[in-house]
Structure 1
Amino acid sequence: MTQLALVAEQFGYVYMDLHMNIEGRYFTMLLLPDRSEHARARAAANWARYPHAADGRSLPPDEPEARELLKARMCTDLGRQYSTRHRVVIALVPALTATLGLWFEFGPENRTAALVLAGSSLFLFSALILLGIAYSRRGSTKYTRQLEAAGFTAVTDRNGRRRYYPPGRHLPGPDSLLFPANELRD
């Protein structure tokens, strides 16, 4: 994904967002045409230098720093796609289903064993969910620090998601959809 976005940015597009569907089966990346003069000049120069770029082999080299920053943006966007509350609900549904399955598997004659097993499995699932959220927050903190150190601007979209945009760039898209993160609307 990062490679695709880097190549697109070399040829006149700008990365805007990355989403994953709820089943985790596929990603949707939003790339928009970059209308800035700098992007147009870079795209024209790259098309002249790499006229066969469409073959996927003769592409401009990418910069490792740009790759890491774009990866941090993408991971941050994915990590903030759902709030912590939504993630807990999404994770608890299969955990509760498995626990109820264990409960009913033992039947009415072994209710004590079923209660112990279902309770312990629910405890285990809950602990794993909390560990997953803690791990995700640690990664998000790492990427947020990396982006802020590089001068990226924190912006909150109309859905309440905090996003990061490159320094010194006009934000693509209608400005009415974006506003500074410290001015979060109710």
Structure 2
Amino acid sequence: MLRKMAGGQPVEVEKVATLRSLALMAAVAEQFGYAYTDTRQRHRNGPQLFFVPDPRPQARERAERNRVRYPDASTGGALPPVPADVLDLFKARISYDLEGWNDDKQRTWLLYVVLTVLCAILGVRLGLGGTSPTAAAAVAAVAWAALMSVTLFLVSIRRRRRAKFAAILEAAGFTQTTEQSGRERYLPLTYQ
């Protein structure tokens, strides 16, 4: 990543496994004059981070200072230390960006429809397989109710997590913005 950043162009990083490693990459990029701009989930390839050069003078100075202090950073050498609060803030930003709310609503409704159809198919197959229609309908209804309960529980957990990340970002001075696509994000006041 740091080798790519030496060219001064926007950088994309793919195939990072954990949220902690994503946040660590964003924090290190910031130490070398880049600003985190977004994270998108690529279906099977995992998340993809996007960085752009930070044009602010203090970012340029910090990058020069760290290039002198950590000359081997781009070849796997020592990296600047990352404070825990900075790491937590990047975790919140990346998590919020990954859990796009509009996508979540669409996925949840699609899941409801798919589970309803599957339970209906279960009821029909049981009814055709020799089970009484009443028993088949009861089994399908119980399965549907159980699956809907689990789905609602998972959605509520996701909403609570999203609210927690939003609170962390608001406390840190980030402002909520809505992109043209309708996706909500939290951006720092210095975002350009």
Q: Would the TM-score normalized by the shorter structure come out above 0.5?
A: yes
Matched residue type, 1:150: A
SS of equivalent residue, structure 1 residue 82: helix
Match of 2:163 in 1: 141
Match of 1:40 in 2: 60
Distance 2:152 2:64 in 1: 49
- 1:97 deviates by 5.4
Compared CA separation, residues 107 and 8, structure 1 to 2 (3 A): same
The runs of at least 4 aligned residues of structure 1 exceeding 2 Å deviation read 79-85, 89-107, 111-114
Deviations 1:119-173 (A, max 9, x none): 1111111111111111111111111111111111222111122211224x1x23x
Aligned length: 169
Provide the aligned C-alpha RMSD in A: 2.2
Matched residue type, 1:62: V
* Contact 1:69–1:147, Cα closer than 8 Å, also in 2: yes
Compared CA separation, residues 42 and 77, structure 1 to 2 (3 A): same
- With the length of structure 1 as denominator, give the TM-score of the two structures: 0.79
Structure 1's unaligned 5+ residue stretches are: 173-186
Distance 1:128 1:150 in 2: 34
Compared CA separation, residues 118 and 24, structure 1 to 2 (3 A): farther
Counterpart check, 1:52 vs 2:52: no
* Contact 1:10–1:42, Cα closer than 8 Å, also in 2: yes
- 1:48 deviates by 1.0
Q: Equivalent pairs: percent with the same residue?
A: 33
- 1:113 deviates by 3.0
Counterpart check, 1:20 vs 2:41: yes
Matched residue type, 1:44: E
Match of 1:74 in 2: 94
Within the candidate set 122, 126, 129, 2:144 is matched to 122
Structure 2's unaligned 5+ residue stretches are: 1-21
Distance 1:43 1:100 in 2: 60
* Contact 2:70–2:79, Cα closer than 8 Å, also in 1: yes
Within the candidate set 24, 42, 61, 1:3 is matched to 24
- With the length of structure 2 as denominator, give the TM-score of the two structures: 0.77
